[in-house]
A = this chain, B = another copy of it.
């Protein structure tokens, strides 16, 4: 029988709602798993066992009192440590913010609480959600990186410490760690999830992400958290339900195989595995036009300027406590011109338009989630390039742990959908998840 800590959130939710499973029992099972695996994995930046059990007991009391139950009633959720929590520290993966305690919950955390989730604790992030790795190890092989910057969230979900976790992505920080850790990572359309109360790098690029072990579970989490926030003007109210979309897989999804201009950087095993998948599924190759060869450079300009603005005060105050990589980005960003930045915005808008036209007829495109399996730990977080283009466009992207690479390590298959049409993407993902790759 599957252990509690390994069951899917959707499955657990049914038992939590019916009352056959207490939130405290589930929280205890997750805490036990953490106790067992955390010494090796180091996924948590902050975890207070007593606080978690008290919160879970509150949920059980609500159930006992016959109170209306939220959409995530009793489900433990990990929260990346760049997402503000009023009752726990939020240290952004840097000693400079050691002991930082926000006065308010991020909007996503407030929505977690409002829908009955149990906030498990804060998960390890790379330094300021950039490229310098935290202590976390890949649960499949502790000598390997879990990816980043949402390292702890990915590792925690993969290790069964929580069924659900919040992540973010400004370049490849949800898709890459989810792929490396062999879970489902979902980076919704720009604007589906509000950023208010999350460490800021770039208002165009920053996008919350969600992690779970099944498509239905990321859909469950997304439905509970999505929708317009007056403080984040990019946000919108969708007209669809992702739980419904995930529950009704497309019958014959129209999928295009996209190698992208960055294909040659992927390792041979990954390229072969993806091409085999495309053949098995009978996919048409519909590659991106040449203009997309600039996508990484455009993303870099926007992110570099954003980081220079966002972390400039840290650099000026305590630069010697920043890693050379973050300090270098701040310095580079200070040299960019406004025209570099505005031209990058316009280029990005043009790419968005081309993308929207080219793939409108497809439910999703199929492309690698990363250049290969999780690399050996070396202080960095792996290459985000296979996620960069979709982050830049704000297109919805999801990685499925469908393939295996060297050493039987997971290899992600990334599906990318049309802008603001996440329901079609989830319908396609549910189809592919159910089909498998046999």
**Could you list which residues of chain A lie within 8 angstroms of chain B, going by C-beta atoms?**
190-191, 200, 203, 228, 230-231, 233-234, 236-237, 301, 304-306, 308-309, 312, 333-334, 336-343, 345-346, 349, 352-353, 356, 394, 419-420
Select which of B309, B345, B349 is within 8 A of A339 by beta carbon. B309
Contact B203 A233 (CB under 8 A): no
Contact A419 B343 (CB under 8 A): no
Contact A309 B342 (CB under 8 A): yes
Contact B305 A339 (CB under 8 A): yes
In the bound complex, how far is the Cα of B196 from the Cα of A356, in angstroms? 14
A304 — which chain B residues lie within 8 A by C-beta?
A: 338
In the bound complex, how far is the Cα of B230 from the Cα of A394, in angstroms? 12
Contact A342 B342 (CB under 8 A): no
Contact B349 A308 (CB under 8 A): no
- Chain B, Cβ-Cβ closest to A420: B230
Select which of B336, B338, B352 is within 8 A of A333 by beta carbon. B338
A333 — which chain B residues lie within 8 A by C-beta?
A: 338-339
With A191-B233, A236-B236 given, is the CB distance from A339 to B346 under 8 Å?
A: no
Contact A339 B352 (CB under 8 A): no
Contact A309 B343 (CB under 8 A): yes
Dominant secondary structure at the A interface = helix
Contact B334 A312 (CB under 8 A): no
With A203-B345, A309-B346, A346-B309 given, is the CB distance from A233 to B338 under 8 Å?
A: no
Query: What copy number does this chain have within its complex?
Result: 2
A231 — which chain B residues lie within 8 A by C-beta?
A: 353, 356
The list of the 4 closest CB pairs from A to B, nearest first, reads A336-B338, A305-B338, A338-B341, A309-B342
In the bound complex, how far is the Cα of B200 from the Cα of A343, in angstroms? 12
A190 — which chain B residues lie within 8 A by C-beta?
A: 233
With A233-B190, A234-B233 given, is the CB distance from A339 to B343 under 8 Å?
A: no
- Chain B, Cβ-Cβ closest to A190: B233
Given contacts A338-B340, A341-B341, 7 further A-B contacts (CB under 8 A): A203-B349, A237-B237, A308-B342, A309-B342, A334-B339, A336-B338, A337-B337
- Chain B, Cβ-Cβ closest to A235: B236
Shortest CB distance A132–B (Å):
22
User: 25 A-B pairs, CB-CB below 8 angstroms?
Assistant: A190-B233, A191-B233, A203-B345, A230-B356, A231-B356, A233-B234, A233-B352, A233-B419, A301-B338, A304-B338, A305-B338, A305-B339, A306-B342, A308-B338, A308-B342, A309-B339, A309-B343, A309-B346, A333-B338, A333-B339, A334-B337, A334-B339, A336-B337, A338-B340, A341-B342
In the bound complex, how far is the Cα of B305 from the Cα of A312, in angstroms? 21
- Chain B, Cβ-Cβ closest to A336: B338
Shortest CB distance A367–B (Å):
22
A228 — which chain B residues lie within 8 A by C-beta?
A: 236
- Chain B, Cβ-Cβ closest to A418: B230
Q: Which of A233, A308, A340, A349 has the most CB of B within 10 A?
A: A233
Q: Which of A337, A338, A349, A420 has the most CB of B within 10 A?
A: A338
In the bound complex, how far is the Cα of B341 from the Cα of A203, in angstroms? 13
